[in-house]
Structure 1
Amino acid sequence: MAAAVDETVARYALPGIAVGVVGDGEVRQVELRGETVAGSGEAITADTLFKVASNTKAMTAALLARQVDAGLLAWDDPVVKHLPGFRMHEDWVTREMQVRDLLIHNSGLGPGAGDLMLWPEPNAFTRGEVIAGLAHLKPRWSFRSRYAYDNTLYIVAGEVAAAAGGAPYDVLLRREVFEPLGMDGCRVGEWRIDGAGPVAAPHGRRDGAWVGRPDGEVVADMPMAAAGGVRCGLDDMLRWVRAWLDPDARDAAGRPWLSAGQRAAAWTPHMPMPLSRRMRDWNRSHYYAYGHGWRLSDVDGTAKVAHTGTLSGMYSAVTLLPELDAGFVILLNADAGDARTVLEQSLSKIFTGCPGTSACPREDGLVAHYASLLAAERAASTAAPDSPEADAAGVHPREAVAADALSGRLGRYRDLWFGEATVCQADGGVRFESLKSPRLAGPVLRAGDRLLVDFDTLGADADAWLDFAAGTDGGPVTLAMAKVDPEADFSYDYEDLAFRRIGDCP
């Protein structure tokens, strides 16, 4: 495993990484590389805190499972039983949505719907505003008809836990998950950096180098805590893995941490997921489904329970192979999704050994093998130069837009769930600025015959088309947005926005 970690670090020039393996109930290997902040000289340790991002979801689900065991709620309880003010866009969905539905991505909303209220961070949205915004997010499909990943309903799940448990979500997660399992270093809610030990900073690329974004003195209690707000060190994440691999795991008082029934419910395929060609080709997978905060599949004939976490310069992966009594954790402090994919795949193959096929490379060639397959996959999907997607690659030069070119379209705009934004003259041109999400701000440019916003502090994958339309029957001008790069993270859910002009520029 050490060689695979070293090759991944070298191939992707990672600033820092922590990897650990559990087997037969014990921690078998730990590999630590790099720095908490590139150039700082502070080495990554087994206690260094990383954002585990969406690996938080299984923790939120476990909190609810503990409450089911305690008789505080039931999985088929209507959400409104615990949160009477909860509303979805359609009344029948509001009435029928159960606690279990909050965890399994079957809401009918599009992928990542409402995520612009969660990130980029920091922003000024409150948890209450995020939940209230659900009433204005129009479904793309019928309720329970298909899988589409979401984060906002996990925030609702955290509030259901708070209502049932009579305490804030962060207090309950520490009491029901961290403390019983000895995960004492994990942090959620508001906490101070100076009392937490080493903390890894997220990193992004700038001019070919990794640039860290360290936290301030206090980490705020963010609205998306229950969906992706936990930070843990490798040691604590390995405790988490051991608790799931051991069906008889006990809490600090010697009591069963979860009942057998709730363990089974967590790993039950509640919602089918699309089985990709990559999974079929790389892993010989036959099924893919979502449980309670876990993704369930098979790899080379053995069951796999896993999840990933992605959050603006931090990547994580937790993989369990329960039939082999093994699992591993990957924590990265860089915007390095390919590195996570390649290393997670390589470590899985070290355990499964690719039985029944002659195509599996030797262990010392796994990283190179899967990196080349991933690169070939990327190349095959590259858009042709004359396709609409080609604009994302910069085929059309970008030019500044003069204010008079947008006559009648400058002004203040409002979306029912996202709030206000302005498109106004500034710095000799025109700027788009969000009132509650200050990092969603940048100059308005022209590319070919379309307008886009080039956000100041986000990567090129975050750029958004701006499409203005005259109001019908004398109504106000409307503004729709869409990803310039169609392969951009679905959390940039611009397509769910429906701005209407509400006034002149300040």
Structure 2
Amino acid sequence: MPVTMKTARISASARMLHETLICLCVAAAFLAVIPLGAFANTPGTTPGGVSYTAPEDWDVRSEGALTVLAAPADELLVALADVGEAASASDAVLAAWALFDPDADYPVRLETAASPREGWEARVGISYDIPPNDRLAVQALALRRGGSWTVMIVRGSQAAQGRRSAAVSLIQQSLRPAGYERESFAGRTPNALTPERIGLLRDFVAEAMDALDVPGVGLALIDGGEIVWQGGLGVRQLGADDPVTADTRFMIASNTKGMVTLLLATLADEGALEWDQPVTEVYPEFRLGSDETTNATLMRHLVCACTGLPRKDFGFILVEPGAPATETFRQLAETQPTSGFGELFQYNNLLVSAAGYIGGALAYPDMELGAAFDLAMETRVFAPAGMYRSGFDFAEAMQGDWARPHGRNIDGEVVEISNAFNQSIITHRPAGGAWSTPADMARYVQLELSGGLTSEGQRVVSEANLMERRVRNVPTGEDSWYGMGLFDEIAWGVPVVSHGGTLLGYRSNFYLLPEAGIGAVVLTNSDEGAVMLRPFLRRLMEVVYDGEPQAMNDITAAVERMARQSDARRATLTVPGDPAVLDALAAQYHNAETGYITIRDVDGETWLRAGAIEGPVATRNNADGTVSLVTVGAGAIGLEAVIGEQDGVPTLTVRDSQHEYVYRARQ
């Protein structure tokens, strides 16, 4: 085995945000537009006949039954091992490690299965118990066809995996057994969404809701320019009887992004901006890290997820809510890309926030940035599109017919949760702060499908600038790309344009099938709603193209997987936290960039507050002897802080994939 394969113990990463690879649901050279086909990904085949795609610039090394794909500088390694026969997925993974790194010894944390897919009769993900301070990302995925197993192992720094998540997804999604032909609906005549077929989609949503304990779903379906169904299933709030309706407001989170780029498109129509114009010509106050990076940033770079700027959500989640819109620009001025422009997909909310505020400033230059943006969206997007119950006003939205957020508590029960956390997005609301309804989202999807026309034939935006938003910039996986606030992919041989949204207790997506003239909107009021979104697209394809029913199998497997993940997480935690650990904590810790972490007693429980995150804490003993504080309030978004010490001062350390925030105790 070459030495380069065996010396990849990169100690730089935090605990993975996802439990298994199956759940992977993201300035040197500056490019204004990366043209289609510019990425030279390379197809390959393992010695066992399994096909894969190597990302551009990755090295491929083979020896015997092992193929290793190495990112530049070996910062991240993906090993593909043709194991052959094995008694179980666990045995197959052990055999793969023996080929890749016989000295590796990572304790298995969890083993979960997904439904059969892409020619594989079994798919099993393995996550490992890695101490947070090791800052290492390690996962395995075991795939079986017949009696033969192939295992994919990923190892590297979490920072590297954060930068290269799209490349890892490309490799994973491209793995197929020898002789398998991909399912494709290309060339089939789409079926109209008749009442019978609409019923099939509604039945799927209802069955998925029941399996996942999702309280309510807003649904809209569009076909041939007409809204063929809009309304709701389930309730707005657990314990109440108020039904979800076509006019129920949900937070749509990052679905806002496509609407922001629609605002920019209207301004491009007016000549107020050009997509390839330097941002500083449009908004001279803009700064991004160094002068070189600032001067090279074009308007399209703000919304293409291709600048190399890393995701930095903790930068606004951990600070006290209520900052003005200018906070977006302050944070960007302190942030540098971690990869070259146009090289990698890195999703960044701050850049889109800046894009929206710049759009507002162009439309209403004499107003405060936030107010200008809100008014620009109302007058140039929402009102012209007929989206009269959409907007950014929390106080107005949280009255009358609105869906409350829900999530699972530490014991696995779905409960209503506070909407306070989601108000952290207000400062950066162009990135994901909009409220909307099934009816309004249906109007938006109509506009996208019609090339910029409302159903009444009124033009809101030119077709040229609407379509410019779908130009493929960077790849996000196999047959998928990011445009400007929109994902573009080829799914089962069919073009799909989409985007999703995630906030605490709200998960949603819209889908366009441009060739069929069909669109769909799914809004949910629960974290668990995330699990039904991709299966819904599959079910939509099955209904439109008479595909083999597979979507519900994905839901069934996900229910089992989530239950195992919840049990595994609960088993690692001491709830309530270890009294000896909690009693030794300081009352307050400080970080110069983000502010304070406060520890206090609430009705006999120890609570932690850090910006928008607040709730009771548990403790976890890590394998390296350290102890973590873990918030255990209901909902999928929380905080882990590792207890430590620097220069004799107690600390709490919080990390995401590419950033570290060290809080020092206040004496």
> Could you say which residue in structure 2 is the equivalent of 1:180?
384
Alignment partner of 1:22 out of 222, 236, 245: 222
What secondary structure, in the 3-state scheme, does the structure 1 residue paired with 2:273 have?
A: coil
Whether contact under 8 Å (2:653, 2:663) holds in the other structure is no
- Could you tell me which of 430, 436, 456 is aligned with 1:232? 436
- Identify the residue that residue 145 of structure 1 maps to in structure 2: 343
**36-45 or 60-69, which moves further after superposition?**
36-45
The corresponding residue for 1:205 is 408
Q: CA deviation at 1:467?
A: 5.1
Query: In structure 1, how many angstroms separate the alpha carbons of the residues matched to 2:249 and 2:532?
Result: 19
Which of 260, 271, 278 lines up with 1:71 in the alignment? 271
Match of 1:339 in 2: 532
SS of the equivalent of 1:256 reads: coil
Specify the alignment match of 2:304 in structure 1: 104
Tell me the SS of whatever aligns to 2:274.
coil
Secondary structure, in 3 states, of the residue corresponding to 1:44?
Answer: coil
* CA–CA distance in structure 1, aligned partners of residues 658 and 606 of structure 2: 22
Q: 1:51: how far off?
A: 1.0
Distance, in Å, in 2 between the alignment partners of 1:33 and 1:250 is 26
Correspondent of 1:260 among 448, 459, 463: 463
| Offset at residue 234 of structure 1 (A) | 0.9
How far off is 1:115 after superposition? 4.2
User: Residue 274 in 1 paired to residue 473 in 2?
Assistant: no
* Deviations 1:49-68, CA, capped at 9 Å, x for gaps: 11111111000000011001
Bigger drift between 316-325 and 30-39 goes to: 30-39
Give runs of aligned pairs for residues 48-197 of structure 1, distance below 5 A.
48-110=248-310, 112-118=311-317, 123-166=321-364, 167=367, 168-189=372-393, 191-193=395-397, 197=400
Of stretches 419-428 and 7-16 in structure 1, the one that deviates more from structure 2 is: 419-428
Where do residues 454-465 of structure 1 align in structure 2 (5 Å cutoff)? Answer: 454-455=630-631, 457-459=633-635, 462-465=638-641
Aligned residue for 1:106, secondary structure, equals: coil
Structure 1 counterpart of 2:571 = 394
What's the counterpart of residue 480 of structure 1?
653
Paired amino acid for 2:659: D
User: Match of 1:78, as an amino acid?
Assistant: P
Summarize the alignment of residues 231-380 of structure 1 with structure 2, pairs less than 5 Å apart. 231-247=435-451, 249-250=453-454, 255-275=458-478, 287-336=479-528, 337-354=530-547, 360-361=548-549, 366-372=550-556, 374=558
Q: Quick one: structure 1 residues 428 and 135, their matched pair in 2 at CA, closer, same or farther if it must change by over 3 Å?
A: farther
2:591 counterpart (414, 435, 440): 414
| Compared CA separation, residues 87 and 420, structure 1 to 2 (3 A) | farther
| Amino acid in structure 1 at the alignment position of 2:578 | A
Q: Within 5 A, what are the aligned runs for 1:479-498?
A: 479-482=652-655, 493=656, 496-498=659-661
Q: CA deviation at 1:392?
A: 4.6
Q: Tell me: CA distance 1:118–1:503, structure 2 relative to 1, closer, same or farther (3 Å).
A: closer
Kindly state the Cα deviation for residue 98 of structure 1 after the two structures are TM-superposed.
Answer: 1.4
Deviation at 1:395, TM superposition (A): 3.7
Residue 629 of structure 2 is aligned to residue 453 of structure 1: yes
Partner amino acid for 1:96?
A
Give 1:324's aligned amino acid. Answer: A
Whether contact under 8 Å (1:308, 1:317) holds in the other structure is yes
Helix, strand or coil at the partner of 2:426: coil
Instruction: Determine helix, strand or coil for the equivalent of 1:81.
Output: helix
The unaligned stretches of length 5 or more in structure 2 are: 1-200
The farther-off stretch of 170-179 and 255-264 is 255-264
2: CA distance, partners of 1:424 / 1:188:
32
State the alpha-carbon separation in 2 of the partners of residues 50 and 369 from structure 1. 27
> CA contact under 8 A between 2:304 and 2:485: conserved in structure 1?
yes
C-alpha displacement at 1:406, in angstroms?
Answer: 5.7
Question: Which of 211, 217, 222 in structure 1 is aligned with 2:426?
Answer: 222
The two structures have a TM-score, normalised by structure 2, of 0.61
Secondary structure of the structure 1 residue equivalent to 2:465: helix
Aligned-partner SS, 2:631: coil
Greater C-alpha Rg: 2
Q: Secondary structure in 2 aligned to 1:462?
A: coil
What SS does the aligned partner of 1:273 have? strand
Report if aligned partners of 1:189, 1:225 keep a CA contact under 8 Å in 2.
Answer: no
Q: 1:246 to 1:424 in 2, by over 3 A?
A: closer
Whole-Å separation in 1 of the counterparts to 2:269 and 2:428:
25
SS at match of 2:333: helix
TM norm structure 1: 0.79
- Report SS of the residue matched to 1:454: strand
Write the deviation string for residues 301-344 of structure 1: whole angstroms up to 9, x where unpaired: 22100111111101111000000010111111111111233223
CA gap of 1:377–1:349, structure 2 versus 1, over 3 A, is: farther
Q: Mind listing any 5+ residue stretches in structure 1 that lack a counterpart?
A: 276-286, 355-359, 384-389, 483-492
1:132, CA displacement in angstroms? 1.1
SS in 1 for 2:353: helix
CA distance in structure 2 between the partners assigned to 1:479 and 1:249 by the alignment: 53
Amino acid at match of 2:218: A
Which one-letter code corresponds to 2:356 in the other structure?
G
SS at match of 1:289: strand
The structure-2 alpha-carbon separation of the partners of 1:177 and 1:7, relative to structure 1 and needing over 3 Å to count, comes to: same
Amino acid at match of 1:150: N
Q: In structure 2, the residue corresponding to 1:323 is in which secondary structure?
A: coil
| Residue in structure 2 matched with residue 487 of structure 1 by the alignment | none
Match of 2:240 in 1: 40
Q: Which has the higher contact order (CA 8 A, sep 6+)?
A: 1
Distance across 1 between alignment mates of 2:318 and 2:240: 26
For residues 86 and 457 of structure 1, do their structure 2 counterparts lie closer, same or farther at Cα, with a shift above 3 Å needed? Answer: farther
Residue 3 of structure 1 aligns with which residue? 203
After superposing the two structures, state which structure 1 stretch, 39-48 or 143-152, moved more: 143-152
d(CA) in 2 for partners of 1:230, 1:187: 5
Aligned residues: 454
Residue 445 of structure 1 and its aligned partner are, at CA, apart by 3.1
Distance, in Å, in 2 between the alignment partners of 1:426 and 1:209 is 22
One-letter identity of the residue aligned with 1:187:
G
Q: How many Å apart are 1:375 and its aligned residue?
A: 6.0
Check 1:322–1:84 CA distance in 2 against 1; reply closer, same or farther (3 A cut).
same
User: In structure 2, how many angstroms separate the alpha carbons of the residues matched to 1:454 and 1:502?
Assistant: 18
Percent identical across equivalent pairs?
A: 25
Q: CA deviation at 1:141?
A: 2.5
Change in CA separation of 1:13 and 1:61 when aligned onto 2, cut-off 3 Å = same
